[in-house]
Amino acid sequence: MNSIGRYFSNFFKALKSLLIGMKTTLKIFFRKKTTECYPENRKKDLYISPLYRGRLEMIHTADNHHHCVACGICQMNCPNGSIHVESEMVTDAEGKKTKVLKAYTYDLGRCMFCELCVRTCPHHAIQFTNQFENAVFTRSKLILTLNHPGSSLQPKAAAPKPAAAPATSAAAVPAAPTVSATAASAAPTVSASTPKAAEATPAAAPASASASPATAKAPESEATLPLNSESTNK
Min dist. Cβ of residue 38 to ligand SF4 (A): 24
What minimum distance in Å lies between the beta carbon of 113 and ligand SF4?
5
Backbone phi, then psi, for 109, in 5-degree steps? -70, -20
Q: Tell me which amino acid residue 211 is.
A: A
**Closest to ligand SF4 by CB, 100 or 207:** 100
Contact residues toward ligand SF4 (CB under 6 A) are: 56, 68-74, 77-80, 82-83, 85, 111-117, 121, 123, 125-126
For ligand SF4, the closer of residues 123 and 207 by Cβ is 123
Ramachandran area for residue 170 (φ above 0: left; ψ -120 to 50: alpha; else beta): alpha
Cα–Cα distance measured from residue 124 to residue 113, given in angstroms and rounded to the nearest whole number: 17
Interatomic CA distance for residues 147 and 106, integer angstroms: 10
Q: Which is nearer to ligand SF4, 78 or 205 (CB)?
A: 78
**Which of residues 127 and 201 has its CB atom nearest to ligand SF4 in the complex?**
127
Task: Give the torsion through C-alpha atoms of 175, 177, 179, 181, to 10 deg.
Answer: -150
Burial 145-178 (b: 16+ CB within 10 A, else e): ebbeeebebbeeeeeeeeeeeeeeeeeeeeeeee
Closest Cα to residue 65, out of 150, 183, 169, 124? 150
Instruction: Tell me how far, at minimum, the Cβ of 116 lies from ligand SF4, in Å.
Output: 4
Smallest separation (angstroms) from ligand SF4 to the CB of 47:
23
Nearer to ligand SF4, 80 or 228 (CB): 80
Closest separation in Å from C-beta 136 to ligand SF4: 17
Least distance (Å) between residue 46 CB and ligand SF4: 24
Between 73 and 192, whose beta carbon lies closer to ligand SF4? 73
